[in-house]
């Protein structure tokens, strides 16, 4: 049986709509994946920096008062350890415009906050700029 002339081409809008939906889904999934992976890399760097800073034990205080339950930190040593970790970390080279925003040293904890700019392929193409991602980690000095 022959199709009526009025029914010709009715599948074309459906196919175009499905193609647009699939391309939109691929775009969103790709950009979200890039953001998630870069955020994870940034978090790994910040975690390592905080752990390195938590190794900055105030040895003079430990020798003077003995070893407490939680080791006291020496703020200059902890900050220096964070800087050394960031300089030595190969993962930092994979992060765009990486910057440590703050390093806070308490009596027994170190908190490191950093940021990086991520350029998801489709979002960066459309907007011409990236997305700033921030991560924070806290580590506690070792104990006995």
Contact 111, 136 (CB under 8 A): yes
State the pTM of this model.
0.78
Q: Evaluate whether residue 113 is within a structural domain.
A: yes
Q: Evaluate whether residue 2 is within a structural domain.
A: no
Contact 78, 110 (CB under 8 A): yes
Q: Is 19's pLDDT higher than 70?
A: yes
pLDDT digits (tens, 9 = 90+) for 81-127: 999 999 999 989 889 899 999 999 998 899 999 999 988 888 777 77
Instruction: Tell me how far apart the alpha carbons of residues 64 and 37 are, in angstroms, rounded to a whole number.
Output: 45
Structural domain span for residue 51: 12-140
Q: Evaluate whether residue 3 is within a structural domain.
A: no
Q: Evaluate whether residue 6 is within a structural domain.
A: no
Number of compact structural domains in the chain: 1
Q: Evaluate whether residue 4 is within a structural domain.
A: no
Q: Evaluate whether residue 40 is within a structural domain.
A: yes
């Amino acid at each position: 049986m022959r199709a009526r002339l009025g029914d010709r081409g009715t599948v074309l809008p459906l196919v175009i709509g499905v193609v647009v939906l699939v391309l939109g889904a691929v775009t969103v999934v790709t950009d979200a994946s890039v953001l998630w992976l870069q955020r994870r890399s940034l978090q790994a760097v910040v975690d390592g920096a905080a752990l390195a800073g938590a190794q900055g034990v105030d040895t003079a205080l430990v020798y003077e008062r003995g070893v407490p339950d939680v080791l006291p930190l020496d703020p200059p040593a902890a900050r220096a350890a964070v800087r050394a970790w960031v300089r030595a970390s190969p993962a930092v080279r994979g992060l765009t415009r990486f910057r440590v925003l703050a390093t806070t040293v308490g009596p027994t904890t170190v908190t490191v906050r950093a940021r990086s700019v991520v350029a998801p392929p489709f979002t960066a193409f459309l907007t011409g700029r990236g997305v700033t991602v921030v991560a924070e980690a806290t580590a506690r000095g070792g104990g006995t």
